[in-house]
Structure 1
Amino acid sequence: MVMRGAFVVDGRMRDEFSNRYYGLCTIGGMVSAGITHFAITPLDVLKVNMQVNPIKYNSICSGLTTLWRKEGPMALWRGWDSKFFGYGIQGGCRFGLYEYFKQFYSDTLVEKHRSLVFFLSSASAQVFADVALCPFEAIKVRVQAQPTFAKGLLDGFPKLYATEGISGFYKGLLPLWGRNLPFSIFMFSTFEYSVDTIYRNVIQRRKEECSKAQQLAVTCAAGYAAGAVAIFVSNPADNIISALYNKKADTVLQAMKNIGVANLFTRSLPIRISLAGPVVTLQWFLYDSIKVLSGFPTSGGLNRQRNEATESS
């Protein structure tokens, strides 16, 4: 009989759609997202302050200088623990569940609906990922924009719970979905199509005919394109989240009115672009590197070409 989803790499049998595979994808997502988000903490601190106080922090260079002079170099690392642990957990859910849902929906909808498969898979995964992230994000935004609120997760969690209860941790869940659902949908869809386009029109070879280094180079190129496209559509919700958590507005509609339609798309956009491109690229690179080192193919495409193993029953 034919073993569906099985293929041979370096003489070893691999089952791409096993629990081991999905577990590896979850771990890969946690490692890649946790490391990359931790690394760009200073820029994230600046981004939040630019959103909350755009007059004081009106550019990347002057904003970093102002934070450094007024509060010292350690101010640039406020919220690092929320970044590392929160986005690590989110990354594990996002990548692991995306792989699971992609196979589930591709079986249900068949390949001709692949755009819908990418849409549903990324959206389904992100819903769960943001529920896991939301409490960490609530602490992070306050710590970064309100230096007197708390030092980090250990004192931030009990303080927020004492003042606002459970609802305080999930106050920004809807705008978080509003930011991350479009981001995730466009990121995964753009990545999938970019991978296909690069192999088909640029390299003009199948993935399996390329070296591991070439495959990872394709991952990086597709990852950068994915981040660039996704960042613009998610910028309005990102500004709303910062306004809500820092009490610049009480509701989403009030935040939109206070910020203005044009500013929703442009405020903090340059720094988010400088964040998203390298971060998304590095995430995909680390994620696919872990998969390659474990004997699995790099990401991209519904039906990855593989050597199917057969055995007589």
Structure 2
Amino acid sequence: MAPAGKKEKPMHSLLAGATAGAIEAFITYPTEFVKTRSQFGGKREGPIAIIRDTIRTKGITGLYSGCMALVVGNSLKAGVRFVSYDHFKQMLADPQGNVSPSRSLLAGLGAGMTEAIFAVTPSETIKTKLIDDAKRPNPQYKGLIHGTASIIRQEGISGIYRGLFPVMMRQGANSAVRFTTYVTLKQFVQGTARPGQPLPSAITFGIGGIAGLVTVYTTMPLDVIKTRMQALDARAQYRNSFHCAYRIFTEEGIRRFWTGTTPRLTRLVLSGGIVFTVYENIIKLLGGREA
């Protein structure tokens, strides 16, 4: 992220964010697959059991069911996220270009809502349906393109926008918490240990990882509701997101809202480190920031 008084060029921010998002999605996808599988209703499955069963029945490639939907969506999502965050941050900055933690939180919330509408909901819905379909004995979808076309044909364009509300809530909270944590920690480290110096990639990775950890525990319930609302049988099970949350709470208990925490924690800690590190390095390669 840009230091006080400096900003990224929108095209540089878009390119760096999109590249970082695609790389992160591919590297961490098996953890996303396991997290999503564990959040479906029915029998509870632990991460190790899901991995073992998937490899036994589908092979190692089974852990990448729905991967392209997330890679494409994550690339677009990260690009939109960084561009919109920088835009909102500049709008909320004081005359010296500084952004307080509370305003950074608002900028992150706005970025999360924006990415949810334009990128996350369609890609997450398609990815979730592909994963849900892949665990069936006779899957009906033959890949990203066939699956997307089938979903739209069967359910209309609203079929890829299932769970828009919980996705907006989750992404808004995700970006607000992640960016605020990252920017606050980065400013603290630069202001105490390395004043006026760029941070090494290892420190950037560590700060991004901490931001991912904080994000997981604060937003996990929204992630579980989002997954349930995007499953293949969601329309038959839940009237809306609030009904979904009510049923989970009353029928399965409050702990069910944190199902899939371990694989999601693994992914978001790695994700935070990878995305911010790749992003910062690509910005440097593209010529840095403009005053």
Question: TM-score, normalized by length of structure 1?
Answer: 0.81
Equivalent in 203, 220, 239 of residue 224 of structure 2? 239
Distance in structure 1 (CA, Å) of the matches to 2:142 and 2:44: 23
- Distance in 2 (CA, whole Å) between partners of 1:141 and 1:259 is 18
2:106 aligned with 1:120:
yes
CA contact (8 A) 1:231 1:272 kept: yes
Where does 1:147-186 land on structure 2 (aligned, <5 Å)?
A: 147=134, 148-186=139-177
2:268 aligned with 1:254, yes or no?
no
2:124 corresponds to which of 110, 121, 137: 137
Is the partner of 2:141 in helix, strand or coil?
Answer: coil
Letter in 1 for 2:229: L
Report the AA paired with residue 185 of structure 2: S
> Which stretches in structure 2 are left out of the alignment for 5+ residues?
none
What does residue range 271-290 of structure 1 map to in structure 2 within 5 Å?
271-290=263-282
Which position in structure 2 is the counterpart of 1:225?
210
Residue in 2 that maps onto 1:267: 259
The offset of 1:107, in angstroms, is 4.5
Choose from 62, 76, 100 the match for 2:87.
100
- The structural deviation recorded for 1:115 is 2.1
Given the alignment of the two structures, is residue 69 of structure 1 paired with residue 56 of structure 2, yes or no?
yes
Please give the residue correspondences for 1:31-46 in structure 2 after superposition, counting only pairs within 5 Å.
31-46=19-34
**Secondary structure in 2 matching 1:39:** helix
Equivalent residue letter for 1:236: P
Distance 2:280 2:140 in 1: 38
| Contact in 2 for aligned 1:142/1:149 (Cα 8 Å) | no
Match of 2:189 among 184, 195, 198: 198
User: 1:296 is matched with which residue?
Assistant: 288
- Once the two structures are superposed, residues 90-137 of structure 1 have per-residue CA deviations (whole angstroms, 9 ceiling, x without a partner) of 0000012111221121047974x6123202211222222111221121
* Counterpart code for 2:18: M
Report the alpha carbon displacement of residue 286 of structure 1 after superposing the two structures with TM: 0.3
Identity among equivalent positions (%) equals 21
What is the letter of the counterpart of residue 34 of structure 1?
A
Structure 1 residues 217 and 41, CA, compared in 2 at 3 Å: closer, same or farther? closer
Q: How many residues align?
A: 277
Matched, 1:23 2:11: yes
Does 1:215 find its partner at 2:203?
A: no
Any idea what SS the aligned residue of 1:40 has? helix
In the TM superposition, residue 159 of structure 1 has moved relative to its aligned partner by 0.9
Give the secondary-structure state (helix, strand or coil) at the position aligned to 2:100.
helix
1:289–1:54 CA distance, 2 compared to 1 (3 A): farther
Cα distance change, pair 149–238 in 1 and its aligned pair in 2 (3 A): farther
Q: Is contact 2:211–2:272 with CA below 8 Å preserved after alignment?
A: yes
Give the counterpart letter for 2:241 in structure 1: V
TM-score by length of 2: 0.87
CA contact (8 A) 1:140 1:152 kept: no
Distance 2:140 2:94 in 1: 48
Q: CA deviation at 1:145?
A: 1.4
Partner of 2:73: 86
| Cα deviation 1:191-238 (Å, max 9, x = unaligned) | 01101222233x1x3133x5xxx4333322211111111111111111
Q: Secondary structure at the match of 1:241?
A: helix
Deviation at 1:295, TM superposition (A): 2.9
* 1:243-279 deviations in Å (ceiling 9; x for gaps): 1111253221232133225234421111111111011
Larger-gyration structure (1/2): 1
SS of match in other structure, 1:126: helix
1:59-81 per-position Cα deviation (integer Å, ceiling 9, x unaligned): 22222001111222221111111
Amino acid aligned to 1:237: L
Q: Indicate the SS of the match to 1:207.
A: coil
Query: Which consecutive residues of structure 1, in runs of 5 or more, have no partner in the other structure?
Result: 6-14, 298-305, 309-313
Compute the displacement of 1:156 (Å).
1.6
One-letter amino acid of the structure 2 residue matched with residue 174 of structure 1: F
Farther-moved stretch of structure 1 (99-108 vs 285-294)? 99-108
Q: Tell me the CA shift for residue 149 of structure 1.
A: 3.8
Query: Given the superposition, is the C-alpha separation of residues 216 and 73 from structure 1 closer, same or farther in structure 2, using an over 3 Å criterion?
Result: closer
